[in-house]
């Protein structure tokens, strides 16, 4: 298939449709920056151009508040979570959920700026730091119950309507993220994992997505997050599937479908 690699650093886009809209059947975004990806896809989708993933999905997945809201709206199991807009309200929510809790930025990735809060003094200190730092990212408090994981979480790659793989991400640290040093190991694709991952992906709009699952003390699976630009370096070391090939096949199918619809029109 013919394709071009576009560098967003070198792009400028007019808000009225330009040549890109006529040239491509689909654009597959691998932009790491959430802000850039969001604006880029907003313009491209505004032209009527098909993208992977699309703007609404990236908007939802890139914001933990919106992700949790979408999962809850579809009745999917998640850790108990609250959002607060003031320090006193945040402290009240933390006390009600019960220590320990995890404070996360609404927008963020790679396990950065997470805080496990074990007591009232720590909660007051972390919240005070957020207020002092200022900025929109620290003005909303996303508070989640701490789930005592068995030293791992589960990352599941969903491509369209297919679950490509599941891996364990293991670490002695409570943050089990490969960007923070967690090790990957193959996880069996049980019916529960497949069903929950597909349901979570559909809840946020579908596409090429990584669904992160937590196992609670009773072994119940909870949806933690959904990632809209999944990286798979760690998975490649333990998974036999052609991960990049599965993704590319999905994009090619979408492009072919667009071309057929255009010809029919």
Is the same domain home to 110 and 196? no
Counted domains in the chain = 2
Query: What does the pLDDT look like over 60-72, one tens digit per residue?
Result: 999 999 999 999 9
Is the same domain home to 156 and 178? yes
* Per-residue pLDDT band at 53 (split at 50, 70, 90): very high
Residue 96, domain CATH: 3.30.1490.20
Cα-flanking dihedrals φ and ψ of residue 185, to 5°?
-145, 150
Q: Which pLDDT score, from 0 to 100, does residue 176 have?
A: 77
Instruction: Look at residue 114 and tell me whether its pLDDT is greater than 50.
Output: yes
* Length of the chain as a residue count: 265
Residue matched to tokens 């929950």: 196
Best-predicted range by mean pLDDT (21-30, 86-95, 110-119): 86-95
* Per-residue pLDDT band at 58 (split at 50, 70, 90): very high
| Number of other residues whose CB lies within 10 A of the CB of residue 63 | 20
Q: What percent of the chain has pLDDT over 90?
A: 72
Residue 210, domain CATH: 3.30.470.20
User: For residues 265 and 256, what is the distance between their CA atoms, to the nearest angstrom?
Assistant: 14
Handedness of CA 137, 143, 148, 150 (dihedral sign): negative
Q: What is the mean pLDDT of residues 186-193?
A: 97
Q: Which pLDDT score, from 0 to 100, does residue 262 have?
A: 41
Q: Which pLDDT score, from 0 to 100, does residue 263 have?
A: 39
In a domain, 28, yes or no: no
Provide the domain limits for residue 88.
Answer: 80-145
Instruction: Look at residue 260 and tell me whether its pLDDT is greater than 50.
Output: no
Q: In the listed set 124, 145, 166, which residue is the last one of a domain according to the structure?
A: 145
Is the same domain home to 164 and 138? no
Instruction: Look at residue 218 and tell me whether its pLDDT is greater than 50.
Output: yes
In a domain, 12, yes or no: no
In a domain, 7, yes or no: no
In a domain, 219, yes or no: yes
Q: In the listed set 145, 174, 198, which residue is the last one of a domain according to the structure?
A: 145
Is the same domain home to 117 and 161? no
């Amino acid at each position: 298939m013919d394709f071009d690699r576009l560098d967003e650093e070198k792009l400028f886009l007019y808000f009225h449709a330009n040549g890109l809209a006529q040239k491509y059947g689909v654009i597959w975004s691998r932009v790491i920056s959430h802000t850039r990806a969001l604006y880029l896809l907003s313009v491209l989708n505004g032209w009527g151009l098909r993208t992977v993933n699309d703007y609404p999905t990236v908007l939802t997945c890139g914001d933990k508040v919106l992700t949790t809201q979408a999962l809850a709206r579809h009745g999917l199991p998640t850790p108990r979570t609250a959002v607060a807009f003031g320090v006193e309200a945040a402290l009240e929510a933390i006390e009600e959920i019960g220590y320990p809790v995890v404070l996360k930025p609404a927008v963020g990735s790679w396990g950065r700026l997470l805080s496990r809060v074990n007591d009232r003094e720590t909660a007051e200190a972390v919240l005070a730091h957020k207020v002092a730092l200022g900025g929109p990212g620290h003005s909303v408090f996303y508070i989640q119950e701490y789930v005592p994981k068995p030293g791992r979480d589960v990352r599941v790659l969903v491509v369209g309507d297919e679950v490509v793989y599941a891996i364990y991400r293991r670490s002695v640290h409570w943050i089990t993220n490969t960007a923070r040093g967690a090790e990957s190991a193959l996880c069996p694709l049980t019916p529960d994992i497949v069903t929950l991952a597909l349901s979570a992906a559909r809840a946020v709009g579908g596409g090429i997505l990584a669904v992160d699952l937590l196992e609670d003390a009773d072994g119940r699976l909870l949806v933690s997050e959904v990632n809209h630009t999944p990286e798979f370096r760690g998975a490649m070391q333990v998974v036999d599937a052609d991960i990049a090939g599965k993704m590319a096949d999905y994009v090619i199918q979408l492009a072919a479908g667009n071309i057929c619809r255009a010809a029919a029109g």
